[in-house]
Structure 1
Amino acid sequence: MTVHDIARRLPEPTALHAHCRALAMLEAVLESERAYRFHSFDARWSQAQAMASMSNGSGDEYAIVFSAAGVYVRGFAHESPMSPYAVDGPWPGVLDDVPAVFRSYTEEPAFSDEDGMPVVTACLWREAGDDRWKAGAIDFPEETTGDPDGAAFLFGLLTDRSPEAFQQWAEDYHEVPVDLDAVRHVLSCRPLTEAVVRALNPEVALADLAQDIEEIGYPVA
Structure 2
Amino acid sequence: MTVYDIAARLPSIDVLRERCKALAMLDAIVGGDYYAYDREWGEDEAASMRNGSGEEYDVVFTADGVFIRGVYHESSMFTYTDGRLWPGLLDGLPEEFQTQVHEPAFCRQDGTLDATFVLWRRTNDERWHAGDDIDFSPADDDEVDPDGSWLLDILCDDIVAEYIEHAKDVYETDLHPAAVEQIVAFRPLTNAAVRALNPEVELADLREQAEEYGYPTAA
TM-score (norm 1): 0.92
Task: Provide the aligned C-alpha RMSD in A.
Answer: 1.5
For residue 124 of structure 1, the aligned residue among 119, 128, 131 is 119
Percent identity of paired positions between Structure 1 and Structure 2 = 47
Match of residue 44 from structure 1: 40
Question: Would the aligned equivalents of 1:80 and 1:150 in 2 still touch at CA under 8 Å?
Answer: yes
What do residues 5-26 of structure 1 show as CA deviations (whole Å, max 9, x unaligned)?
Answer: 1000101111111111111100
Match of residue 141 from structure 1: 137
Question: Would the aligned equivalents of 1:113 and 1:119 in 2 still touch at CA under 8 Å?
Answer: yes
Partner letter of residue 147 of structure 1? D
Partner letter of residue 46 of structure 2? M
Answering whether residue 110 of structure 2 is matched by residue 115 of structure 1, we say yes
Unpaired segments ≥5 residues, structure 2:
none
Partner letter of residue 146 of structure 1? V
Distance between the aligned counterparts of 1:84 and 1:46, measured in 2?
A: 32
Partner letter of residue 128 of structure 2? W
Match of residue 197 from structure 1: 194
Tell me how far 1:209 sits from its aligned partner: 1.3
Structure 1 segments of 4+ aligned residues over 6 angstroms from their partners? none
Tell me how far 1:179 sits from its aligned partner: 2.4
Q: 1:26 to 1:96 in 2, by over 3 A?
A: same
What do residues 41-86 of structure 1 show as CA deviations (whole Å, max 9, x unaligned)?
Answer: 1122223x11111110000000001111001010100111111783
Question: Would the aligned equivalents of 1:84 and 1:121 in 2 still touch at CA under 8 Å?
Answer: no
Distance between the aligned counterparts of 1:116 and 1:210, measured in 2?
A: 38
Aligned length: 215
**TM alignment of 1:179-198, pairs within 5 A:** 179-198=176-195
Tell me how far 1:119 sits from its aligned partner: 1.0
- Secondary structure at the aligned position of 1:73 is classed as strand
- Identify which range, 137-146 or 73-82, moves more after superposition: 137-146
Tell me how far 1:127 sits from its aligned partner: 0.8
Distance between the aligned counterparts of 2:83 and 2:197, measured in 1?
A: 44
Distance between the aligned counterparts of 1:135 and 1:61, measured in 2?
A: 18
